[in-house]
Amino acid sequence: MVSEKTTTVAVVMGSDSDLKIMDSCVAQLREFGIDAAVRIISAHRTPAIADEFAQTAEANGFKVIIAAAGMAAHLAGALAARSTLPVIGVPLVCEAGLGGMDALLSTVQMPPGVPVATMGVGKAGAKNAAILAVQILALQDAALRQKLTEFRQQQEQTVRAKDAAIAS
């Protein structure tokens, strides 16, 4: 694990069972050269730890928090309530839940003044959370902005190649 004092993005999830999905977020961040601090913190089972983490996140060098949870999915909102940093929420599917819809609604329905940027449910949402974090950081980092531009160009080239493959 990367020291919290040397990284700019925290990826926090409510359970270690969320790792299988959030690994795609961490991998996407690494593709941009960002080593995220990864934590397991529960809004319900470890509320004091969640509170302390959120309150000290900026002092610990974080610039963006990505929070993933299923079921009640209060983690992103709980962290956003205690930090002024941008919080990106990733709702996750839970076996006992409603296919991720419960987590999506819990993450996206925040009261005015406590925003959480909410991604789609699951792995695609996890990857998009990483890309949004990069976009936020790229506002102040020209090298990261260049990597983001190259990423978008690569995406375009991939789609063009797939189109050419089926058009011939």
State pTM to two decimals: 0.93
Query: Structurally, how many domains does the chain consist of?
Result: 1
- 17 neighbors 118 (Cβ within 8 angstroms): no
Residues in contact with 129: Cβ distance below 8 Å, sequence separation at least 6, in sequence order = 25, 66, 68, 88, 89, 90, 119
DSSP E strand boundaries for 86-168 = 87-91, 117-118
Tens-digit pLDDT profile for residues 125-136: 999 999 999 999
Name the residue range of residue 106's domain.
4-141
Query: What span, in angstroms and rounded, lies between the C-alpha atoms of 73 and 21?
Result: 15
Residues in contact with 67: Cβ distance below 8 Å, sequence separation at least 6, in sequence order = 12, 13, 75, 76, 79, 87, 88, 89, 90, 116
The domain that holds 28 is classified in CATH as 3.40.50.1970
- 124 neighbors 95 (Cβ within 8 angstroms): no
Whether 164 maps to a domain, the answer reads no
Whether 168 maps to a domain, the answer reads no
What residue has token string 């995220």? 36
Cα distances (Å, whole numbers) of residue 130 to 30, 99, 116, 133, 164:
9, 22, 14, 5, 29
Whether 12 maps to a domain, the answer reads yes
Tens-digit pLDDT profile for residues 18-77: 999 999 999 999 999 999 999 999 999 999 999 999 999 999 999 999 999 998 899 999
Whether 137 maps to a domain, the answer reads yes
Residue 5 has pLDDT above 50, yes or no: no
